[in-house]
Amino acid sequence: MNTEDGARYSAVVLGGGDPGDPFAAAHGVSVKPLIPVAGVPMAERVLAALRGSGLIGRVAYVGPTTPALDAQIDLRVTDHGTLLSNLEAGVEALRGGVGLAAGERVLVVTADIPLLTAEQVRDVLRAAPRDAGLVYPVVTRQTCEAAFPGVKRTYARLKDGTFTGGNLFVLDPALIGAFLPRLREVLAARKAPLKLAALIGPGVLLRLVTGRLSVAALEGRVSALLGVKARALVTPHAAVGTDVDKGSDLALAEAHLARPPGS
């Protein structure tokens, strides 16, 4: 699909989850993305934002679906059990059939950010640097708390500010084979401080935990670690970093959706 700015995007939506998740079970669904938010499953809201942006061609959805979701999905993909395995399966599904066009990038988004809007999707995609193999949006704490008072997020304090990570990112699918093995290694080491320090570098890790690491320095280290050029994108859209993981998140999302437009 050619977009109005000449870019091309397909999307992988990560809608899997633990079938035994008590949060999902409490709402009578098999996985969290199918929980209704103001009467509409959160995954359905995410898909509507992608389709409404006008910048997304095909959508591969990884995880259980419903008939309403199927109407917005081009490719259904079985849940492979882990985030990275699902990411890989989704990209491979897009490569199958008609394949991905030369230069086409992939937007990867989790299905549990129901406050995402079509306008925000357009803004992120248009702002994403074209010279990076991996673009990861981040949101400042000030932005999150101004948009959604009372929201609870995990933040990292950097030299440039305090940020939370987004729940979507843009990648060059041609490079996925280069960075996935290293990313798996980093995730496997995340609860082993000595191993993680060896991977990231003790100096970088020390600056990170003491808030003296800049966004640019972090980009450089992540790029070196993954073997692809990685860029952070500071976005003004708090919804990008606001997922629904628990009852208080659900109440916050429903309260926000109940507000009159523009209020």
Residues 43, 69 contacting (CB under 8 angstroms): yes
140 belongs to a structural domain: yes
Supply the pLDDT for residue 122: 97
Supply the pLDDT for residue 33: 97
- The domain total for the chain is 1
1 belongs to a structural domain: no
185 belongs to a structural domain: yes
pLDDT tens digit sequence for 98-148: 788 888 999 999 999 999 999 999 999 999 999 999 999 999 999 999 999
154 belongs to a structural domain: yes
Residues 45, 37 contacting (CB under 8 angstroms): yes
Supply the pLDDT for residue 262: 61
Low-confidence ranges of the chain (pLDDT < 70): 1-7, 190-191, 193, 196, 262-263
| CATH (domain of 141) | 3.90.550.10
Cα–Cα nearest to 165, from 108, 115, 66, 233: 233
Supply the pLDDT for residue 50: 97
Q: At residue 67, what are phi and psi to the nearest 5 degrees?
A: -55, -40
263 belongs to a structural domain: no
Can you point out the beta strands (E) in the chain? Answer: 9-14, 36-37, 40-41, 59-62, 75-77, 105-110, 134-140, 156-158, 161-165, 168-171, 230-234
4 belongs to a structural domain: no
Supply the pLDDT for residue 191: 61
User: What are the structure tokens assigned to 240, written together?
Assistant: 């990008």
129, burial (CB in 10 Å: exposed 0-12, middle 13-18, buried 19+): exposed
228 belongs to a structural domain: yes
Look up the domain containing 80 and give its range: 9-258
Supply the pLDDT for residue 18: 86
Cα distances from 74 to residues 58, 62, 105, 169, 260, in angstroms, run 6, 11, 17, 20, 33
Task: Determine the Cα–Cα distance for residues 163 and 214; give it in Å rounded to an integer.
Answer: 11
